Homo-oligomer: A and B are copies of this chain.
Amino acid sequence: MVSGAIVDLDGTVYRGDDLIPGAAAGVDALREHGCGVCFFSNNPTKDGAAYVERLRELGVDAREGEACSAGVATTRYLADHHPDDPVLLVGDEGLAEQLRAADVRLTDDPAEASVLLGSWTNDFDYYDMLAAMDAVEEDTVFLGSDPDRAVPHDDGRLIPGSGAIVGALARTVGREPDRILGKPSDVARDLALERLGLTAADAADCLVVGDRLDTDLLLGERAGMTTVLVLSGVTDRTDLADSDVEPDYVLENLGEVDTVLRDE
Taking beta carbons and an 8 Å cutoff, which residues of A are in contact with B? Answer: 121-127, 129-130, 133, 149-150, 158-160, 163-168, 170-172, 174
Contacts and interface: CB of A to CB of B under 8 A. Distances in A.
A167 B159 contact: no
Number of copies: 2
Contact of A170 (B150, B171, B174): B171
Given A133-B150, A172-B164, A174-B150, A121 B126 contact: yes
A159 B171 contact: no
A160 B122 contact: no
Nearest to A168: B168
A121 B130 CA distance: 12
12 contacts: A122-B126, A123-B126, A124-B126, A126-B165, A133-B158, A133-B159, A163-B171, A164-B172, A167-B167, A167-B168, A167-B171, A168-B171
B174 A149 contact: yes
Contacts of A164: 129, 133, 168, 171-172
